[in-house]
Amino acid sequence: MHGDIMLGLTLIVALGVSAQWIAWRLRIPSILLLLVFGFLAGNLRHLLGHVPEVLNPDAVLGDMLLPVVSLFVALILYEGGLTLNLREITNVRGVVRNLVTVGILVTWVLATAAAHWIVGLDWRVASVLGALLVVSGPTVIGPMLRLLRPKRQLGSIIRWEGIVNDPIGALLAVLVFEVTLSGDVQSATSIAVFGVLKTLFVAGGLGTAGALLLALMLRRHWIPDYLHNAVSMAFVIVLFTLTDHIQPESGLFTATVMGIVLANQRLARIHHIIEFKEHLRVMLISTLFILLSARLTFDQISQLGWGSLFFVAVLILIVRPAAVVASTLGSGINWRERALLAWLAPRGIVAAAVSSVFALRLEQEYPEAALLGPLTFLVIVATVAVYGLTAGPLARWLGVADPNPQGILLVGAHSWARALAEVLHREGIRVLLIDSNRTNASAARMAGLPTYSGNVLGDFIEDELDLQGIGRLLAVTPNDEVNALAVQRFERLFGQKEVYQMPPAIGRGGKKRLAHDIHGRLLFTDELTYTRMLERVRGGSVFRATPLTESFDYEALRGRFGFDVVPLVIKRANGSLTIIAADQDPKPKPGDTIITLGPPDEKPVAALKPDPTQ
C-alpha cells in the first residue's frame, strides 16, 4: 500500500511537470495538456483493463485529497496576490472593481439561467453551478498572459481580475450552496448577509494583520534569511485554516488579501519571497490539475448531452461579453481592449476543486447535482482550449499584444551603448535605454532613442518602464555589480535565456571579480569587457549592420574587414533576433542582417563621438 501511494504521488508530479515542459515546447496553454494528461492517466485502468489504481487520487490520498487541494489553491492565490501592485491599476481601478463586482453578478445570473434552460438543471443546482463558473484564477490566466504578452494596462486588468475574483467567486459559491441547503427565505437571507460580513471583517482583517505582522518581523530581522519563505508559508497556512473554520471557504479570501497587502507595504523587501512562490506555483498547479482531472471518468462524461456544449457556447459568446460590457461602460479603455477582455475568461482550479465538494453533498437531495463535476470540467477544458488557441491570434489582430517580443532593454546609455542602439533602431529593432546618469539619458534622447532616466534597481522600475515589445535585457554599464543585479532583477520577467551582461573585469591574479553563478549570460566574447569595448571604439572601431546574401555571406564579411570583426546581434530573415553570447557560436545565414563591431570603412554606420562622462 505504501509503495502504491509513493508511486502514485511520483507519477502525478512527473506527469504534471512533463505536461508543463511539453506545453512550453509547443507554445500551447499548459493547463490544456495538464487536463488531458490527468484525464487519460486517471482512466488508464478503463482503457487497458486491470491496472493498479496508482493514479486514482481518491485511492492515493483518500480523505486528504480535498483538504490538500484547498491548501494548494490558497498558496496559489497568495502567490497571485504577491504579484498585484496597486500602482499598476491607477488608471483602470474602476474597471477592475466593476469586473469583480458587476461582472461577477452578471456572469452568475446569466450562467444560472443558461444552466437551467439549456442543461435542464433544477434552479437551485443551476445557481450553484453559475456561482462556480464566475471564477477564472491565476492558474489559467498566468500561463496565458505569458503567451499573450498584452499591453501593460490591459495585462494589469486581466491579471487583477483573474486573481481577485477567485476568492470572491469561491465565497459566492459557498453562500449560494448554503442558501440552497437552507430551504427557506429567512434562513437564506441570514446566511448570505452574515456570511459576507464575516468574510469581509474576519478574512480581510486576518489577511491584513498577517501581512503587516510578517512585514514587521522581516523589517526588524526577527526571522533569519533562510526561514523567510518557510515562515511566510506558515503564516498563510495558519490564517487560511483559521479563517476557514470561522467561515467556510473564506480562507481563500484571507490568502489573497495577505498577498496583496504584503506586495504593497513598504516596511520590508519581499522580492526573494515572490521569486520562491513563483517557482512553487508551477509545481502546485501541475499537481492540482493532474489530481482533479484524474478523478473524472468516461462514464461521467457520457452523461453530458449536446446541450452541455451549447451551454459552453453561451458562456463564451454571450455571458462573458455581457459581463465585460456592463463592467466597462464609461471607462477609458478602447474597443480593442474590450474585445480581448470579452474573449478571455478561462475557468481554473478553484471551480474544479469546489465543484468536486459540492457535487458530493448535493447529490443526496438533487440527483442532477452529479453533473456539477463533469460540467465544470467540460467548461474548464473548453474555455482553456478555445481561449488558449484563439486569444493569441485575436490579440495580434487587434494590436493589443506582442506574444514574441524581440526588442532590447539596454541598461546603460553611455556613448558606445548609444551608438549600438542607433544601429539597432535603424534596423527597426525596438530599443529602450535606461541610465541613472542624466547626461547620458539626455544625450540618448537627443539622438532620438527611447530612454528612461532612472535607476534600473529602483523599487517600481518594472511598473514604470514601458516594456511593450521588449523581450530581452543587455546590461552594459561600466559597473559589473550593477550589471549582475540588473540581470537578477529582470530574469524573472525575461527568463534566464534572454538576460545578458558584459563580461566582468579581470581582477588581481587573473581572476574574474564576479562568481560565475551570480551573473547572466556573457555578451559577445569572454574577453570583450566594458573597458576593452570602450578602448576599441575609441580606437576607431564602429558598429555596422550588414545584410548577408548568397554572394556576400558572413565569411566574406570577415574577409573584407578582417577577423578582428566582432559579431554582436543577428537579425534573422523572419524578424527574430539572436544576441551573440560567449557560450554560443554565431551562425548567420544569407538573408540575415548581422550587427558587428569592426574596423571602419569609407562609410561608417555609427561613429563614436567623445563622451565627456567617461
Question: Residue 450: CB partners within 8 Å, gap ≥ 6?
Answer: 430, 431, 432, 433, 466
Task: Identify which of 24-38, 147-161, 220-234 has the greatest average pLDDT.
Answer: 220-234
Give the model's confidence band at 212: pLDDT under 50 very low, under 70 low, under 90 confident, else very high: very high
CB 202 within 8 A of CB 250: yes
Give the model's confidence band at 80: pLDDT under 50 very low, under 70 low, under 90 confident, else very high: confident
**For the chain, which residues make up each domain, given as ranges?**
2-398, 407-598
Burial of 603 (0-12, 13-18, 19+ CB in 10 A): exposed
- pLDDT of 563 over the 80 cut: no
Q: Which string of DSSP letters, residue by residue, matches 13-53?
A: HHHHHHHHHHHHHHTS-HHHHHHHHHHHHHTHHHHHSS---
Cα distance between residue 420 and residue 500, in whole Å: 15
Lowest mean pLDDT among 59-63, 251-255, 553-557: 59-63
pLDDT given for residue 316 in this prediction: 92
Cα distance between residue 571 and residue 495, in whole Å: 20
Q: What is the pLDDT of residues 567-600, one digit of tens each?
A: 888 888 887 888 888 877 777 888 888 888 888 7
Assigned C-alpha cell, 135:
471564477
Q: What is the pLDDT of residues 500-537, one digit of tens each?
A: 988 887 655 445 555 555 567 888 887 888 888 888 88
Determine the 3-state secondary structure of 158 from DSSP. helix
Cα distance between residue 261 and residue 208, in whole Å: 6
β-pairing, 566-571 vs 577-579, is antiparallel
Q: What percent of the chain has pLDDT over 90?
A: 7
Residues 372-408 as b/e (b if ≥16 CB within 10 A, e otherwise) read: bbbbbbbbbbbbbbebbeebbebbeebebbbbebbbb
Lowest mean pLDDT among 88-97, 364-373, 559-568: 364-373
- pLDDT of 215 over the 70 cut: yes
Give the model's confidence band at 374: pLDDT under 50 very low, under 70 low, under 90 confident, else very high: confident
**542 bridge partner residues:** 598
Residue type, 462: E
When the pLDDT of each residue in the chain is averaged and rounded to a whole number, the result is 78
Give the model's confidence band at 113: pLDDT under 50 very low, under 70 low, under 90 confident, else very high: very high
Task: Identify which of 301-305, 383-387, 583-587 has the greatest average pLDDT.
Answer: 383-387
pLDDT given for residue 46 in this prediction: 61
pLDDT given for residue 321 in this prediction: 94
End-to-end CA distance of the chain: 70
Q: Which string of DSSP letters, residue by residue, matches 294-324?
A: TT--HHHHHT--HHHHHHHHHIIIIIHHHHH
Mean pLDDT for the stretch of residues 131-143: 74
pLDDT given for residue 610 in this prediction: 46
pLDDT given for residue 603 in this prediction: 44
**569 bridge partner residues:** 579, 595
pLDDT given for residue 463 in this prediction: 59
Cα distance between residue 136 and residue 392, in whole Å: 18
Q: What CATH number is given for 407-598 in this structure? A: 3.40.50.720
pLDDT given for residue 607 in this prediction: 42
Assigned C-alpha cell, 244:
476557514
Mean pLDDT for the stretch of residues 235-252: 83
Mean pLDDT for the stretch of residues 23-44: 77
Give the model's confidence band at 359: pLDDT under 50 very low, under 70 low, under 90 confident, else very high: low
- The CATH class given to the 2-398 domain equals mainly alpha
Q: Residue 359: phi, psi to the nearest 5?
A: -60, -40
- Residue whose C-alpha is closest to residue 169's, from 99, 84, 221: 99
Distance of CA 48 to the CA centre of its chain: 37
pLDDT given for residue 112 in this prediction: 92
Q: Which has more pLDDT, 144 or 608?
A: 144
Q: Which has more pLDDT, 369 or 11?
A: 11
**546 bridge partner residues:** 594
Instruction: Residue 144: count other Cβ atoms within 10 Å of its Cβ.
Output: 22
pLDDT given for residue 489 in this prediction: 83
Cα distance between residue 161 and residue 323, in whole Å: 12
Lowest mean pLDDT among 314-328, 354-368, 396-410: 354-368
Give the model's confidence band at 317: pLDDT under 50 very low, under 70 low, under 90 confident, else very high: very high
The widest CA-to-CA distance across the chain, in whole angstroms, is 90
Give the model's confidence band at 606: pLDDT under 50 very low, under 70 low, under 90 confident, else very high: very low
- pLDDT of 605 over the 50 cut: no
CB 131 within 8 A of CB 169: yes
Question: Residue 219: CB partners within 8 Å, gap ≥ 6?
Answer: 267, 268
pLDDT given for residue 106 in this prediction: 92
β-pairing, 542-547 vs 470-475, is unpaired
- Residue whose C-alpha is closest to residue 154's, from 337, 299, 357, 382: 337
- pLDDT of 187 over the 70 cut: no
- Residue whose C-alpha is closest to residue 461's, from 424, 435, 500, 495: 435
| Beta strand segments in 476-527, E | 499-501, 521-522
Cα distance between residue 46 and residue 40, in whole Å: 10
Cα distance between residue 118 and residue 332, in whole Å: 36
Mean pLDDT for the stretch of residues 479-498: 84
Assigned C-alpha cell, 507:
581582477
pLDDT given for residue 114 in this prediction: 92
Give the model's confidence band at 612: pLDDT under 50 very low, under 70 low, under 90 confident, else very high: very low
Residues 315-344 as b/e (b if ≥16 CB within 10 A, e otherwise) read: bbeebbbbbbeebbeeeebeebbbbbbbbb
Q: What percent of the chain has pLDDT over 70?
A: 78
Mean pLDDT for the stretch of residues 293-318: 81
Distance of CA 146 to the CA centre of its chain: 5
- pLDDT of 110 over the 70 cut: yes
- Residue whose C-alpha is closest to residue 99's, from 168, 23, 15, 24: 168
Enclosing H/E stretch for 332: none
pLDDT given for residue 548 in this prediction: 85
Mean pLDDT for the stretch of residues 71-89: 74
- Residue whose C-alpha is closest to residue 499's, from 513, 509, 484: 484
Give the model's confidence band at 322: pLDDT under 50 very low, under 70 low, under 90 confident, else very high: very high
- In the chain, DSSP finds a helix count (H) and a strand count (E) of 27, 10
Distance of CA 458 to the CA centre of its chain: 22
Residue type, 264: N
Q: How far is CA 215 from CA 66, 231, 258, 428, in A?
A: 31, 11, 11, 45
Lowest mean pLDDT among 48-57, 67-76, 286-295, 552-561: 48-57
